Amino acid sequence: MNNRIYPEVFFTRELNSFKVKILELHCPKCFSTDIYADLKDIYVCKECSDKNDFKDLLTTEQVRDRKIKNILS
Protein backbone atom coordinates (compact mmCIF):
# COMPACT_ATOMS: atom_id res chain seq x y z
CA MET A 1 0.00 0.00 0.00
CA ASN A 2 1.27 3.46 -0.81
CA ASN A 3 1.62 5.37 2.46
CA ARG A 4 1.21 8.70 0.79
CA ILE A 5 -2.35 7.99 -0.23
CA TYR A 6 -4.98 8.43 2.47
CA PRO A 7 -7.06 5.26 2.26
CA GLU A 8 -10.62 5.88 1.17
CA VAL A 9 -11.96 3.65 3.95
CA PHE A 10 -10.54 6.02 6.57
CA PHE A 11 -12.10 8.97 4.84
CA THR A 12 -15.48 7.20 4.79
CA ARG A 13 -15.15 6.42 8.48
CA GLU A 14 -14.41 10.03 9.38
CA LEU A 15 -17.28 11.21 7.21
CA ASN A 16 -19.69 8.75 8.84
CA SER A 17 -18.61 9.79 12.33
CA PHE A 18 -19.12 13.40 11.33
CA LYS A 19 -22.57 12.58 9.96
CA VAL A 20 -23.63 11.08 13.32
CA LYS A 21 -22.49 14.25 15.09
CA ILE A 22 -24.27 16.59 12.70
CA LEU A 23 -27.52 14.63 12.86
CA GLU A 24 -27.16 14.28 16.65
CA LEU A 25 -27.93 10.58 16.55
CA HIS A 26 -28.13 8.56 19.74
CA CYS A 27 -27.20 5.06 20.79
CA PRO A 28 -30.42 2.97 20.94
CA LYS A 29 -29.22 1.30 24.14
CA CYS A 30 -27.92 4.09 26.41
CA PHE A 31 -28.94 7.14 24.33
CA SER A 32 -25.41 8.53 24.27
CA THR A 33 -24.39 10.67 21.30
CA ASP A 34 -20.77 9.63 21.74
CA ILE A 35 -20.77 7.38 18.69
CA TYR A 36 -18.12 6.72 16.09
CA ALA A 37 -18.16 4.79 12.84
CA ASP A 38 -15.79 1.88 12.39
CA LEU A 39 -14.28 0.65 9.15
CA LYS A 40 -17.10 -1.74 8.34
CA ASP A 41 -19.83 0.89 8.41
CA ILE A 42 -20.86 -0.16 11.91
CA TYR A 43 -21.56 2.53 14.49
CA VAL A 44 -20.01 1.97 17.90
CA CYS A 45 -21.12 3.70 21.09
CA LYS A 46 -18.22 4.86 23.27
CA GLU A 47 -20.35 4.67 26.41
CA CYS A 48 -21.69 1.12 26.25
CA SER A 49 -19.77 -0.34 23.28
CA ASP A 50 -23.04 -1.21 21.56
CA LYS A 51 -22.71 -1.72 17.80
CA ASN A 52 -25.44 -0.67 15.41
CA ASP A 53 -26.26 -0.05 11.78
CA PHE A 54 -26.85 3.53 10.81
CA LYS A 55 -30.59 2.91 10.47
CA ASP A 56 -30.76 1.72 14.10
CA LEU A 57 -29.41 4.94 15.56
CA LEU A 58 -32.04 7.18 17.12
CA THR A 59 -32.80 10.82 16.49
CA THR A 60 -33.38 13.10 19.47
CA GLU A 61 -37.11 12.85 18.80
CA GLN A 62 -37.04 9.06 18.77
CA VAL A 63 -35.13 9.06 22.06
CA ARG A 64 -37.78 11.28 23.59
CA ASP A 65 -40.57 9.00 22.36
CA ARG A 66 -38.79 5.97 23.71
CA LYS A 67 -38.30 7.56 27.13
CA ILE A 68 -41.96 8.51 27.30
CA LYS A 69 -42.87 4.96 26.35
CA ASN A 70 -40.62 3.61 29.11
CA ILE A 71 -42.27 5.88 31.68
CA LEU A 72 -45.72 4.82 30.59
CA SER A 73 -44.99 1.12 30.42
Question: What residue ranges bind Zn ion (CB under 5 A)?
Answer: 27, 29-30, 32, 45, 47-48, 50
Q: Which of 70, 71, 73 is nearest to 28 (CA)?
A: 70
As measured in angstroms, the least distance from the Cβ of 61 to Zn ion is 18
The candidate with the shortest Cα–Cα distance to 52, out of 25, 24, 18, is 25
Find the shortest distance in angstroms from Cβ 28 to Zn ion.
8
- Compare residues 11 and 56 and give the one whose CB is closer to Zn ion: 56
If you count them, how many residues does the chain have?
73
Closest approach, Cβ 69 to Zn ion, in A, equals 18
Strand partners, 11: none
